[in-house]
Structure 1
Amino acid sequence: MTAVSPDPHTLVSSEQNKVLRMETPRNPEALMKRDTADPESFRQRFRWFCYSEEAGPRKTLNQLWELCVQWLRPDIHTKEQILELLVFEQFLTILPGEIRIWVKSQHPESSEEVVTLVEDLTQVLEEKEGEINR
């Protein structure tokens, strides 16, 4: 996979639409035991979790609930912090491909930081476009 430049001046369209391939074990218990302290791994497990006909609807729902609790941590996060996590993730998801790739490469930690990065990038790209059109 090509490294993404942290410099917005060097964005290239070839970085757009990259696909993240994630290997996950078939055993949900093994999946839940890995990387126990990483919120991003919990988020990914929650988002990539699939329905299991073998486990049945009740056990599958309970496993999904547990993954959500591990990710959002309602025992230590306020409602506002949980909403921040959800909105932060969704905002990153809806950004245009090339911008999303660059923003994620900057490892922002809040929605406000993402907005600042996007605004700065937009300004740089507009300035660059203005120079080209002269």
Structure 2
Amino acid sequence: MPTLERAERRDGHPAEDSVGELVSRASQQISQLVREEMRLAQAEMTQKGKRFGLGGGLFGGAGVAAFVAFLAFTAAAIAAVALALPGWAAALIVGGGLLLVAGLLALLGRTEIGRATPAAPKQTIDSVKDDVAEVKARARR
């Protein structure tokens, strides 16, 4: 947060700033503060967007693994009709393993999306609240 500078006269004593100068300085500082907060919000939202992308990709991976598991179960049904017990039993074991992978990917995807929510830039909101509190505290002096 920008610091408040106090002008000094040539003799080293604090100078009394005019109201116009104070308003101008406050306006500049508020503009700078808003720009800094916007940059922080942009960085935070970029990070959250990456988490949503990762979570969505993991959900997509879970869908692919579930589809492959379906294919394995289909192969198991065909093998059960065509061959003896060991063939389709092996296919069921593979299909079950693929379903476990799909479940793990879905849980990881849900966790990543949960870490990205709420979508609001929480750090920026907290920072703005701190800034407002600081301005109020300085205004009381």
- Shorter-chain TM-score: what band? under 0.3
TM-score (normalizing by structure 1): 0.26
Q: Bigger radius of gyration, 1 or 2?
A: 2
Question: With CA pairs under 8 Å and 6+ residues apart, which has the higher RCO, 1 or 2?
Answer: 1
Which structure has more helix as a fraction of its residues? 2
Task: Calculate the TM-score normalised by the size of structure 2.
Answer: 0.25
